[in-house]
Amino acid sequence: MFSSGEFFQRIRKDYYRSLFPVLLSVILAAFSAASGFGGEPVPVPDFSGDRAMELLIAQCDLGPRTPGSAGNRQLRKMILDLARKNGFKARTLCFDATDPMTGEPVQVCNIVVSVGMHPENRLWLGAHYDTRPVCDRDSDPELRSTPLTGANDGASGVAVLLHLMEILGENPPAQGVDFLFFDGEDSGLSGDPGGFCLGSRQLAATCRDFGNPLSQGTPRGLIVLDMVGKKNLQIPMEAYSLVNAPEWTESVFDRAQQLGLTAFVKHRGPAIYDDHAPFLEIGIPAVDLIDFDFPQWHTTGDTPETCSASSLDEVGRLMLDLIYQP
């Protein structure tokens, strides 16, 4: 990703000597561009909202993706296959938990995909890939036990991350990036935060442990993508992020404004306990990008029809700019 033979043997010595400085300058220029030092800024690749939308729909076609379900395992395989196809390091970190709704044992599996070998100043990008087991906020009581399709609430953030992985595979970035796919985010009982964010709480608690794929790197920050696919997307600065990581949050939203991305609104939004919170609690700057004004939240209406390629495109464009222009 990131070899000269008989040609050089046919070059006369005097010509070879004259060519050497040119070759050296080319090598140094290539190294400079690849490592992000000197020269012009590295071009930012294009993000395709249409491709992200395809990836969103593909997830929904798997059916419910609750922890331990067939859909959850299939999506996990999709993530791992894409990572390995692009030559990225991928680790599945499973642990035993108790299902907050049923009280039954369940295996929860986080996935960490690492791009690049640079240990310092890495960018962490996260999203939960599980879906809620019930549509408990549906207006029809008979539908409240139906598993959530989770087009916006789950698939949207994952779709952006999957397409980013495709792009980074073709355009290796200068800075290291870790993709965190959280499981067990959405199985809690309404009103009980302790039943939510099982995967992110476990990963935050163990991210410095020996052998954890995150333990060797120092992140400049974490960005969590949740519910970022709805039409007419409007993402404010989530309150926990703004209070606990103000510089990181402001910098992310400032970049969105510089890019002219209208989906990001630089005012304080509601406080939401999401997958960023456990990382804020251990001192890692984290921002939750979420538009919580979503009438179909936790209902049977959370389907691909509520989502927009243009919304996914704006989120993806911001992530690419932060990756390639840190």
Q: Which CATH number characterizes residue 79's domain?
A: 3.40.630.10
Among residues 83, 85, 59, 86, the alpha carbon closest in space to that of 73 is found at 59
pTM, to two decimals: 0.88
Cβ contact 152:302 at 8 Å: yes
Q: 16 and 122 share a domain? A: no
Same domain for 212 and 303, yes or no, is yes
Percent of the chain that is helix, strand, coil (3-state, to 5)? 40, 15, 40
Give all strands of the β-sheet with 89-98 in edge-to-edge order: 89-98, 105-115, 177-182, 122-128, 219-226, 286-290
- 51 pLDDT above the threshold of 90: yes
Whether pLDDT at 11 is above 50:
no
Q: Rounded to 5 degrees, what angle do the CA atoms 175, 177, 179 make?
A: 170
24 and 104 both lie in a single domain: no
Residue count (the chain): 326
Do 81 and 57 lie in one domain? The reply is: yes
| Domain count along the chain | 2
My answer on whether 28 and 99 are in the same domain is no
Dist. CA 2–CA 114, nearest whole Å: 15
Q: Are 247 and 168 in contact (CB under 8 A)?
A: no
Say whether both 32 and 175 belong to one domain.
Answer: no
**Are both 46 and 20 inside the same structural domain?**
no
94 shares a domain with 63: yes
If asked whether residues 32 and 64 sit together in one domain, one would say: no
CB 65 within 8 A of CB 129: yes
Question: Would you place residue 44 in the very low, low, confident or very high pLDDT band (cuts 50, 70, 90)?
Answer: very high
Range of the structural domain that residue 237 is part of: 41-324
Same domain, 156 and 12: no
Show Cβ contacts of residue 235 under 8 Å, excluding neighbours closer than 6 positions: 228, 263, 264, 265, 269, 289, 290, 291
Q: Within 13 Å and on the Cβ side, how many CA atoms surround 55?
A: 28
Q: Are 26 and 54 within one domain?
A: no
Lowest mean pLDDT segment, chosen from 23-32, 51-60, 202-211:
23-32
Residue 177 has pLDDT above 80, yes or no: yes
Candidates 41, 2, 4; CA nearest to 19 is 4
Q: Is residue 19 located within the same domain as residue 164?
A: no
Kindly report which listed range (38-47, 141-150, 236-245) carries the lowest average pLDDT score.
Answer: 38-47
Q: What is the pLDDT of residues 78-103, one digit of tens each?
A: 999 999 999 999 999 999 999 999 99
